[in-house]
Structure 1
């Protein structure tokens, strides 16, 4: 989830706003996921594709922000900038996850009652580095590479993509990048239409199958975003933020395509959404301009909170999922109350994390490292 370009270079405000729209959709998707019986009846059914949208945004903005900077930027300097931007919230997200894990008490996570405090601390500290833990160190029972804060898996692959960019992709000519995009797109389509679940869900476990999903999910969108940043000839699009937000929400909220007998249909939808729709949305968003003070404030707010919300919300989803499983007979009003409370808490914690921790820490790191 790349955010802003280098300080002295203007960034795309509408893309900031779209990242926030996607992040909030992820929170809602995860809340509804607690009530789903399978991928087939999940509400906001394709909300998981927001991660693929983040990867494409990251490739686009990384290319825009850094491609023309390497005459005065070292690889070490690039890594410092990425660490400065991403790592503080990774650490906080893991700490929040560890605290929530310690106080969790639900039948859906029976393993946590037998986890010693020292092991929780070790797993949390490892998570702060984003180094994946093997299945043998899983303390929750969901086989996540980051058991206290599951979404850390996408940041792990984000870092890998950034490393590949700094060590090689930044030098790749457009012809080579195009070939890589085509290959990655073909691999992604093949996986999506042949996968057991008929979708692009996965990537969070340190198993061969899940690692394949993770690498497949990051490869095409990041490469395509990078290529788009180098080849796009932008034009003016009126009301771009509104139209792009609507398009993004439509693709993320689309009901399941096909049923359990035709899983390949949904896989095809996933891959074509990532290959065709997301680059179009990014292109339109980059082509537009914010109009008026209100839209400017909205895009800035959504962009600012997008990453903090994304990386801190899931510990509260664990808690809500546990509540939902333990209270399957709860009425609609009670369920809506707890679901809304989970959403509001996620937004408040994300915003508070931004203002009270992320911005001050990044400012301190900037002074220290510059």
Structure 2
């Protein structure tokens, strides 16, 4: 173990977040990554929710407690943080659907666009995996991973509005109740992957209630000081990857899924928040944490383009397929990094500057840019 740190940056969490975002890419486009198949990587959403609760509490718990920020200002900051890249992903997803779908479906795409740009769920039944004929009421058909952002914003609003009532006892009750309901749904055959389709959207509410509340509790019970250790930080990220790449026998699958969502993800966040790597590794982790959100909201349009470009990848053969998958990951990470630098940060800076100047608010742009 090395020196102790009290930095307000949780870089090991950033490293986990970056790896989790790439595992989501592998989950949504499994054909590009054979023979590796990360079939349970939808559980990354639950990990993201826990991290979100922890990081939001870290950034805003004291400000909300002291009255330095109102619920309305808090939500404005959250929207400014999330919207630019969300809008880019929605527009790219729209272009991709118009490219893939037949003209007979274009009216559905254009009808869904206004709701998408307003970050609202869509009630339309439409195809998003053409040429498959499967059609469903997907909450966000233009860029379906966006469903988790909707539930995260709901959790953010609830946290801000009801903050003074969210004692540790109330949060523990909320965690226990939502956890029991998730287990009950699992026993009755409702998959934990539900939430992105309208019919199972209530499962998304249970997932965010459990995980986001757990994240807040983890912040309140966090270690007073963090230890610096490259070995522990890297081992934690490596073990995390291995956990989702190892095949799980069917007989243990349900236990595995609920163990990850309800116990392992919170433990990972709690341990990662207590360990920091040294400077060089920290820079790598912070980079992947910075691009993780862009990877998450941009990977479906980029992956769809890869599918159109390569068609049926069976003809590529087993030796070429992993290279296509690596190319997809590199492309998404590069696009997310470029978009962050030349689009996301400048747009958010302009929005924050206009709001802070207009409201004569004492907060600075730089102080709020990454919150």
In which range does the TM-score fall when normalised by the shorter chain?
A: 0.7 to 0.9
Note the C-alpha offset of 1:34: 6.9
Contact 1:45 1:254 in 2 (8 A): no
For residues 191-216 of structure 1, give each alpha carbon's deviation from its aligned partner in whole angstroms, at most 9, with x where no partner exists: 234325xx421211122xx1122112
Could you tell me the TM-score, scaled by structure 2's length?
A: 0.84
Aligned twin of 1:190? 184
Note the C-alpha offset of 1:326: 3.7
Partner of residue 24 from structure 1, selected from 22, 25, 41? 22
- Call closer, same or farther: CA 1:115–1:159 in 2, change over 3 Å: farther
Note the C-alpha offset of 1:252: 2.6
For residues 127-156 of structure 1, give each alpha carbon's deviation from its aligned partner in whole angstroms, at most 9, with x where no partner exists: 122211114355654522211211011111
Note the C-alpha offset of 1:319: 4.0
For residues 317-340 of structure 1, give each alpha carbon's deviation from its aligned partner in whole angstroms, at most 9, with x where no partner exists: 334456777454442234334333
Partner of residue 341 from structure 2, selected from 338, 355, 361? 355
Contact 2:222 2:273 in 1 (8 A): no
Contact 1:189 1:267 in 2 (8 A): no
- Call closer, same or farther: CA 1:115–1:344 in 2, change over 3 Å: farther
Instruction: Give the distance between the partners of 2:33 and 2:277, measured in 1 at CA.
Output: 37
Note the C-alpha offset of 1:89: 0.9
Instruction: Give the distance between the partners of 2:254 and 2:24, measured in 1 at CA.
Output: 19
1:162 aligns with 2:148: no
Aligned twin of 1:246? 238
For residues 270-314 of structure 1, give each alpha carbon's deviation from its aligned partner in whole angstroms, at most 9, with x where no partner exists: 11112221111111111112312x212102211110001110001
Instruction: Give the distance between the partners of 1:58 and 1:159, measured in 2 at CA.
Output: 10
Instruction: Give the distance between the partners of 1:33 and 1:188, measured in 2 at CA.
Output: 30
Root-mean-square deviation (CA, aligned residues, Å) is 2.5
Instruction: Give the distance between the partners of 2:259 and 2:212, measured in 1 at CA.
Output: 15
Note the C-alpha offset of 1:218: 1.4
Instruction: Give the distance between the partners of 2:320 and 2:210, measured in 1 at CA.
Output: 42
Note the C-alpha offset of 1:114: 3.3
Contact 2:36 2:245 in 1 (8 A): no
Aligned twin of 2:79? 83
**Structure 2 matches for 1:124-139, cutoff 5 A?**
124-136=113-125
Contact 1:20 1:306 in 2 (8 A): yes
For residues 36-59 of structure 1, give each alpha carbon's deviation from its aligned partner in whole angstroms, at most 9, with x where no partner exists: 9xxxx9811221111110000001
Aligned twin of 1:222? 212
Count how many residue pairs are aligned between Structure 1 and Structure 2: 341
Instruction: Give the distance between the partners of 1:188 and 1:254, measured in 2 at CA.
Output: 24
Query: Unaligned regions of 5+ residues in structure 2, if any?
Result: 1-6, 357-371
Partner of residue 364 from structure 1, selected from 323, 347, 350? 350
The range that moved more, 279-288 or 186-195, is: 186-195
1:339 aligns with 2:328: no
**Structure 2 matches for 1:211-360, cutoff 5 A?**
211-237=201-227, 238-239=229-230, 240-258=232-250, 262=251, 265-292=252-279, 294-320=280-306, 326-360=312-346
- Call closer, same or farther: CA 1:269–1:254 in 2, change over 3 Å: same
Instruction: Give the distance between the partners of 1:254 and 1:192, measured in 2 at CA.
Output: 22
Contact 2:90 2:143 in 1 (8 A): yes
1:69 aligns with 2:63: yes
Instruction: Give the distance between the partners of 2:185 and 2:30, measured in 1 at CA.
Output: 26
Contact 2:54 2:219 in 1 (8 A): yes
For residues 221-270 of structure 1, give each alpha carbon's deviation from its aligned partner in whole angstroms, at most 9, with x where no partner exists: 11111111112334544334212212322333242342xxx4xx422211
Partner of residue 121 from structure 1, selected from 103, 110, 123? 110
Instruction: Give the distance between the partners of 1:215 and 1:310, measured in 2 at CA.
Output: 20
Query: Unaligned regions of 5+ residues in structure 1, if any?
Result: 1-8, 105-111
